[in-house]
Structure 1
Amino acid sequence: MARKLMLCGVSVLTMASCFTAHAQDRSEQGKLSLGLGVAWSPSPYRSYDNKAWPLPVASYEGQRFFLRGPSFGARLWNSSSSELAVALSPIGNRFRHEDSRNSQLRQLKDRDLSAQLGLQWQTKGTWGRVALAAQKEVTGHGGGHVFDANYSYAMPFGSAVVITPMVGVAYTSSALNDYYYGVSRKEALRSGLPAYRSGSSSAPYAGASAFIKLGARWSAVGTFRYSRLADEISDSPMVHGDSTVGYSAALMYRF
């Protein structure tokens, strides 16, 4: 099988990194894996009903194109140890006012799922893998930018299990933060919340993924990610808390 949901709140990047690590096995390249999973992350929004998200996932590593969990990309340059690609991936933040139990937050507009498009670069060796990404929101939800840098190290346990811890930092521009965590003057008048404009932020995170081979064609993937929220987000009147934790799991079948 070849191998962030947070979905910003669910670990899309952690899941994509898990698939990337297993794509390094040349015997798996050119093979398609499909699966269904679930992702769950307590929302940073105040008094919010948290729900598990169904998560269709795919994994494919071709000569030029790839699918890594929820991300799709095309390689612009590739060598035995490094890769430069253009990729489309989801930004999984979401706010539905009807899912909040807070009467003031129920007066706010919804914030929808977004997508980001941009460049991703990675290099790997016996020491692990370093990945960098520079992407722009392309679905009209703030139009901001996200920059991400992370390090991961795949640790095999026998021939059937691989554990991959990861650490990184993500920078999000003010436009995208403000879309998800800002409160406009019109919303403030309607809800009674103070108006708020969010600035750009840098947030460290840490996580891990697990790949478990269950047989000739079946495998399971699980991920965990802890993210520290920057003050520009935690100071929002929409937010309660200063961190998020995301989990996901999927069962995959290789064709």
Structure 2
Amino acid sequence: MTTSRTLRGSLALAVCVAALQPAQTLAQEGGLRGGSFTVGLFGFQGDTAYGFTETAAVPFVEYENDHFKIGVPSVDVKLPWISSEQLSFGLTVDFFGGEGGYEAGDAPILNGMADRDGGVWAGATMGWRSDLVDLSFAAMTDVTGDSDGSSFKLEASRSFVAWDRLMITPKLAAVWLDDNAVDYYYGVRAGEATASRAQYSGSSTVNVEGGITFGYMLAERHMLLLDLGVTKLGSGIADSPIVVDDMLTKVGLGYVFKF
């Protein structure tokens, strides 16, 4: 399994960290102000479209202040001078972006395929917060040129606190991938085609993601996280001869400490 794909799996748990954004209010009530560090440990298990399951445990370190957020796998630059309490803008770099890539030895169906790299993806983000729903938008492109692909993601979420210590965040997202991205990660080139694996050129598609994150405050700055999610792959991916599953599930568990 490629290093980038193993680290890419940490994104399944980075979703949990994103859920800490509203939960920071809970930590700040305990006296946290200005820049802060978050450290923790995440474990995840998730399906891949190629028929194998990813399982890994990864440490997590992140620093955030009013202007930027630095961690693994991404760096975010905030733009406070054009943002408000409800509407925010930013720039982001994802060092293990794209669809994660693969090596031919990751699954039997990939035997004879050339390796695909995860690449580095960068782009712009926008967020809108309201009393009813939080919306986020990200436009990303592969700046390494591995796939020359682009993607757009629109996500709706809503966080609320139950029983004082439990934060629940359901979310629903649509992710559009252009034909370059789909073709690179899920296409089959002429030299890779076999009698049982036809040549395939991917087309742009939309994946639908749904999930729910639970965050439980053990103490003032200690939180346990449980992230559950499912992804329905669009037809441009699902029709590929190297795709085994078009419905992918993931589960992640983590612990974080903010200081």
TM-score normalised by L of structure 2: 0.85
Structure 1 pair 87/12, CA: closer, same or farther in 2 (3 Å)? farther
What one-letter code is carried by the residue in structure 2 that aligns with 1:186?
A: G
2:209 and 2:19 map into 1 onto residues whose CA distance is: 15
CA deviation profile, 1:135-168 (whole Å, cap 9, x unmatched): 1112332121110111100010133210100011
Q: Secondary structure at the match of 1:156?
A: strand
1:67 and 1:81 map into 2 onto residues whose CA distance is: 22
Q: How many residues align?
A: 246
Structure 1 pair 12/217, CA: closer, same or farther in 2 (3 Å)? closer
1:245 and 1:212 map into 2 onto residues whose CA distance is: 22
Identity %, equivalent residues? 20
CA displacement at 1:6 relative to structure 2:
10
2:108 is equivalent to residue 101 of structure 1: yes
1:9 and 1:216 map into 2 onto residues whose CA distance is: 25
What one-letter code is carried by the residue in structure 1 that aligns with 2:208?
A: P
Aligned equivalent of 1:219: 223
2:247 is equivalent to residue 243 of structure 1: yes
Structure 1 pair 71/38, CA: closer, same or farther in 2 (3 Å)? same
CA displacement at 1:9 relative to structure 2:
9.8
CA deviation profile, 1:175-204 (whole Å, cap 9, x unmatched): 111111000001115x75211010000122
Aligned equivalent of 1:74: 77
Gap runs ≥5 in structure 2: 1-5
2:123 is equivalent to residue 122 of structure 1: no
1:16 and 1:117 map into 2 onto residues whose CA distance is: 19
Q: Secondary structure at the match of 2:36?
A: coil
CA displacement at 1:217 relative to structure 2:
3.3
Q: Secondary structure at the match of 2:250?
A: strand
CA displacement at 1:172 relative to structure 2:
0.5
2:221 and 2:187 map into 1 onto residues whose CA distance is: 46
Gap runs ≥5 in structure 1: none
Aligned equivalent of 1:65: 68
CA displacement at 1:123 relative to structure 2:
1.2
Aligned equivalent of 1:134: 139
**Could you tell me whether the CA contact under 8 Å between 2:43 and 2:58 is conserved in 1?**
yes
Structure 1 pair 78/69, CA: closer, same or farther in 2 (3 Å)? farther
Structure 1 pair 178/124, CA: closer, same or farther in 2 (3 Å)? same
Provide the aligned C-alpha RMSD in A.
2.5
Of 193, 198, 205 in structure 2, the residue corresponding to residue 201 of structure 1 is: 205
Q: Secondary structure at the match of 1:107?
A: coil
Matching of residues 1-255 of structure 1 within 5 Å: 7=8, 11=12, 14-23=15-24, 27=28, 28=32, 29-46=34-51, 48=52, 50-67=53-70, 70-76=73-79, 77-89=82-94, 90-91=96-97, 92-102=99-109, 105-188=110-193, 193-255=197-259
1:44 and 1:16 map into 2 onto residues whose CA distance is: 24
1:63 and 1:95 map into 2 onto residues whose CA distance is: 36
2:175 and 2:37 map into 1 onto residues whose CA distance is: 30
**Could you tell me whether the CA contact under 8 Å between 2:128 and 2:134 is conserved in 1?**
yes
Q: Secondary structure at the match of 2:164?
A: coil
CA displacement at 1:7 relative to structure 2:
4.3
1:8 and 1:137 map into 2 onto residues whose CA distance is: 18
**Could you tell me whether the CA contact under 8 Å between 2:27 and 2:258 is conserved in 1?**
no
**Could you tell me whether the CA contact under 8 Å between 1:41 and 1:246 is conserved in 2?**
yes
**Could you tell me whether the CA contact under 8 Å between 1:217 and 1:254 is conserved in 2?**
yes
**Could you tell me whether the CA contact under 8 Å between 1:201 and 1:232 is conserved in 2?**
yes
1:74 and 1:14 map into 2 onto residues whose CA distance is: 18
